[in-house]
Amino acid sequence: MTQLFPMHAIAIESRRRGQRLVGPIDLTLGGQGATVVIGPNGAGKTTLLQLLHGTARLSAGQIDWACTTEEARHHQGFVFQRPIMLRRTVLENLIYPLRLRGAPKDKARKAAREWAVRVGLEPLLGRAAPVLSGGEQQKLALARALICKPKLLFLDEPCAALDGRATREIEMILQTAKADGTRLILSTHDLGQARRLADDVLFLVGGRIHEAGRADTFFNQPETEEAQAFLRGDIVE
């Protein structure tokens, strides 16, 4: 069975037009739990997730998975802040990633129905995905990612535009995915969400990891002045 972890990111950087946006960052990830990436606007959270996932180009450094990079990519999913829906039904959106991976039609259909039930979208299976509400679309995006049983799921501000109820539903799906063994890495501006979901925290400022560690330690005894200020709700730049 393919093992992704431990993953070692060594001195990774993202530069644009000669300007360093993120890095250098060194990071080791073990195979369990949820890592929550927090930090002010422009700190580099999205870019870091994309570098790790391989959708943004490394300007320097390297990422070593316990398997090949190709295998690692195959076992990852990425959920965006604004979900990208196929202009097809909910059912077809769920079937699509499985068919892409070669699953037979019947099997894909069965899994799609099971996932629709799990995330509460069963009554909407025949509806066109683009007309779903924001919360419904995000649940669909999550189910579409999880249906492939990723070993690692990146989520970039998955609840940014959602109300409390939709956020709670998404968080429950994420907690179940984590309990089922999916490694989560998500960015959020919602400190309440970070406290609820995080096992580990990466606190980014200015493209660098400013503080990192166990969530309870970070939230209860942040070491740096910037982290203390950020947790108080002060402006950190």
Ligand X SMILES: Nc1ncnc2c1ncn2[C@@H]1O[C@H](COP(=O)(O)OP(=O)(O)OP(=O)(O)O)[C@@H](O)[C@H]1O
Least CB distance to ligand X at residue 46 (A) = 3
Candidate residues 42, 54, 120, 213; the one interacting with ligand X per rule CB under 6 A: 42
- By CB under 6 A, residue 43 contacts ligand X: yes
Contact map string, positions 1 to 40, toward ligand X, x by CB under 6 A: ---------------x----x-----------------x-
Tokens (6 digits) for 133: 């509400």
For ligand X, the binding residue among 44, 135, 150, 222 (CB under 6 A) is 44
Question: What is the smallest separation between the CB atom of 95 and ligand X, expressed in angstroms?
Answer: 31
Q: Smallest Cα–Cα separation from 195: which of 173, 182, 214, 209?
A: 214
| Contact predicate 178/184, CB 8 Å | yes
Shortest distance, CB of residue 42 to ligand X, whole angstroms?
Answer: 4
Nearest to 183 by CA among 75, 70, 22: 75
Which among 45-53, 62-70, 96-104, 209-217 is the span making contact with ligand X, rule CB under 6 A? 45-53
Closest CB 156 distance from ligand X, rounded Å: 7
Q: Of 31 and 42, which CB lies nearer to ligand X in the complex structure?
A: 42
Residue 41, interface with ligand X (CB under 6 A)? Answer: yes
Instruction: Give how many residues touch ligand X by CB under 6 A.
Output: 10
Segment near ligand X (CB under 6 A); pick from 42-50, 69-77, 147-155, 212-220: 42-50
Q: Whose Cβ is closer to ligand X: residue 42's or residue 213's? A: 42
Closest to ligand X by CB, 39 or 97:
39
Please report whether residue 45 would count as binding ligand X according to CB under 6 A. yes
Q: Which residues bind ligand X (CB under 6 A)?
A: 16, 21, 39, 41-47
